[in-house]
């Protein structure tokens, strides 16, 4: 397994990775079982797997956790070695955004609302870096966690709109969220939670699951969402940024029981940490 920090070296190493399809798993490091599930899924799709590790400054807002974001490259590399990854692409910020860098990729529509409302510029940063990673690595397939459902929708829209060929939009795959035993979605940010908040955080997946069951059972959407918010606040969350039912692909808001693929998406804050989660609410 090679660990590469410079673009010229990546290009050479990429050219040498011949024989079969190549999958890219973009990450910001601090790897957990959710990332490893992406790598394992990547191996079903491709003979070669590249994992990128880059804490992308452009997707963090001014008051966000860029400096505090966990960085543990050595540990991440050891984990990926045991998974049989071929290459790790770990550029520095200076290598990714060279002097004079001035280009931004902005995806309208799906980027707006939900996390886009609370984190202005976040999805521009994500779309920009993922577009660059795609051009740098030129994968046949790319894999992203479904926990960041809006991010997945943004990346698919971008790949489609820019007629990307490596990977083609149809080759951008979402991988189901990996959860702890109590249902909490794995996230590098769970490390910020105190033991008490960590225990309380399990109310988030439980409340989403209950609301999904209510909506599927025919209860009015607004009432199910109201109960979900109340359950989070009484269960120890300090604030609910959003709790919405959306079309799974376009992310258009749904106020009635869905007839097509739908997703229930939530962001809520507990002890200064913002957690997001989502579940399928209707499979069409």
Catalytic residues: 35
**Residue whose CB is less far from ligand PAF, 26 or 174:** 26
Positions 127 through 146 that interact with ligand PAF (CB under 6 A): 129-130
**Binding to ligand PAF by residue 27, rule CB under 6 A?**
yes
Spatial distance between the Cα atoms of 33 and 37, rounded to a whole number of angstroms: 6
* Residues making up the chain, counted from first to last: 284
Spatial distance between the Cα atoms of 204 and 267, rounded to a whole number of angstroms: 9
Applying CB under 6 A, among 126, 131, 175, 281 the residue interacting with ligand PAF is: 126
What stretches of the chain adopt beta strand conformation (E)? 2-4, 22-27, 48-53, 87-89, 141-145, 172-175, 239-247, 262-270, 273-282
**Residue whose CB is less far from ligand PAF, 123 or 282:** 123
Spatial distance between the Cα atoms of 242 and 193, rounded to a whole number of angstroms: 20
**Residue whose CB is less far from ligand PAF, 28 or 39:** 28
The first and second tokens of residue 248, run together, are: 């799974």
- Report yes or no: 263 and 278 within 8 Å, Cβ to Cβ: yes
CB of 230 to ligand PAF, least distance (A): 30
- Report yes or no: 256 and 236 within 8 Å, Cβ to Cβ: no
CB of 130 to ligand PAF, least distance (A): 6
- Report yes or no: 250 and 179 within 8 Å, Cβ to Cβ: no
Applying CB under 6 A, among 148, 197, 214, 277 the residue interacting with ligand PAF is: 148
Spatial distance between the Cα atoms of 241 and 113, rounded to a whole number of angstroms: 11
CB of 55 to ligand PAF, least distance (A): 8
**Binding to ligand PAF by residue 51, rule CB under 6 A?**
no
Stretch that binds ligand PAF, among 26-34, 68-76, 237-245, 269-277 (CB under 6 A): 26-34
**Binding to ligand PAF by residue 25, rule CB under 6 A?**
no
Stretch that binds ligand PAF, among 22-30, 208-216, 230-238, 253-261 (CB under 6 A): 22-30
CA 68 to chain centre: 18
Kindly list the residues in this chain that would bind ligand PAF in the complex (CB under 6 A). Answer: 26-28, 56, 59, 126, 129-130, 148, 151
């Amino acid at each position: 397994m090679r660990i590469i920090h410079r673009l010229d070296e990546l290009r050479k190493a990429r050219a040498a990775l011949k024989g079969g399809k190549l999958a890219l798993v973009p990450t910001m490091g601090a790897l957990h079982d959710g990332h490893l599930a992406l790598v394992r899924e990547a191996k079903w799709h491709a003979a070669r797997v590249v994992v990128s590790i880059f804490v992308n400054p452009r997707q963090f807002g001014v008051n966000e956790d860029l400096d505090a974001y966990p960085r543990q490259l050595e540990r991440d590399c050891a984990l990926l070695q045991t998974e049989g990854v071929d290459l790790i692409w770990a550029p520095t910020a200076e290598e990714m955004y060279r002097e004079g860098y001035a280009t931004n990729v902005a995806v309208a529509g799906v980027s707006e609302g939900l996390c886009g409302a609370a984190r202005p510029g976040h999805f521009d940063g994500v779309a920009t870096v993922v577009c660059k990673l795609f051009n740098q690595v030129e994968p046949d397939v790319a894999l992203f966690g479904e926990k960041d459902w809006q991010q997945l929708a943004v990346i698919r829209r971008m790949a489609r709109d820019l007629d990307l060929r490596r990977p083609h939009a149809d080759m951008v795959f979402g991988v189901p969220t990996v959860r702890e035993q109590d249902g909490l979605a794995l996230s590098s940010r769970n490390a910020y939670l105190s033991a008490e908040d960590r225990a309380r955080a399990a109310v988030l997946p439980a409340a989403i699951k209950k609301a999904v069951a209510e909506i599927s059972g025919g209860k009015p959407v607004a009432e199910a969402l109201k109960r979900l918010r109340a359950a989070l606040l009484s269960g120890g969350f300090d604030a609910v940024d959003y709790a919405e039912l959306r079309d799974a692909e376009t992310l258009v808001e749904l106020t009635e029981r869905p007839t097509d693929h739908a997703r229930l998406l939530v962001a809520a804050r507990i002890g200064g940490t913002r957690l997001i989660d989502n579940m399928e609410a209707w499979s069409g």
